[in-house]
Amino acid sequence: MKYSTKGYLDTSPDKHRSSNVIKGGDITMKGVSFSVQGTDSNGFTQLMHPGNDYKFPNADYVIETPSPISKLPFTNKHVTKI
């Protein structure tokens, strides 16, 4: 299995891949500009958003794939329609 050390970071050479495998269970989304789905070696899946850190306890690796919502601009602000 080929691991990526930078995943989908904006500066990563792997940022255009359809998926990346990250060794271990600590994932940072700081420096990533779109949402990514992560599924660990134990089958646990979570949606990860830019700017946050994520833990996948007891994971040997995490498979990252761009989220279908990654085509939308990300905002962490609540939007209310009036």
Residues 46-79: pLDDT tens digits? 999 999 999 999 999 999 999 876 555 555 555 5
- For residue 63, what are its two tokens? 């498979």
Total tally of structural domains belonging to the chain: 1
Give a yes or no: residue 4 inside a domain. Answer: no
Give a yes or no: residue 47 inside a domain. Answer: yes
Residues 2-61: pLDDT tens digits? 999 999 999 999 999 999 999 999 999 999 999 999 999 999 999 999 999 999 999 999
Give a yes or no: residue 28 inside a domain. Answer: yes
Provide CB contacts within 8 A for 72, sequence distance 6+.
Answer: none
Give a yes or no: residue 32 inside a domain. Answer: yes
Range of the domain at 61: 20-70
Give a yes or no: residue 14 inside a domain. Answer: no
The pTM of this model reads 0.81
Res 1: pLDDT: 82
Quickly list DSSP for 19-72: -EEEESSEEE-TT--S-EEEEETTS-EEEE-TT-EEE-TT-SEEEEEE-GGGGS
